[in-house]
Structure 1
Amino acid sequence: MSDGYTTQGQIGQAEFDKKVIIYWWLQALGLMFSTLILIPLIPVWLLVGYFFHQKQFDHLSCVLTER
């Protein structure tokens, strides 16, 4: 059985800081403030946006391979 593509020739692996979640959340909030159409959705985003970015962060990975 062969290894998965992420373990073949793997040179290194990176971990991301959890602070990136706040950065993504604030970046999306800033975009909403800059458009008139999305301003009414800001209260909803304040409540659920962090949850969506937490899920995004949970599935984030970075592997450096030879290829």
Structure 2
Amino acid sequence: MQASFARILVAAGVLLATVPAVAHHSAAVAYDIDKTVTVKGVISEVRWVNPHTWIFVDTKDADGKDVKWGFEG
């Protein structure tokens, strides 16, 4: 009886440990994953912050104005 309870307890622990991974946000919510964008410029900053890194690129738009792109890693 105690072995069965221990197995149930371990199984419940494993299932509960996966909940944060399932709850993590999807890229599809914030980005159009079907569209490819190419950005050419100079990497101006890299932020190593928890939980994601950020890479910033200085470039110019079609009108020649300075634009800063941010990429979440």
TM-score tier, shorter chain, comes to: under 0.3
Q: TM-score, normalised by structure 2?
A: 0.26
Decide which structure has greater helix share: 1
Greater RCO between the two (CA within 8 Å, min separation 6)? 1
The structure number with the bigger radius of gyration is 2
Report the structure, 1 or 2, having the larger strand content.
2
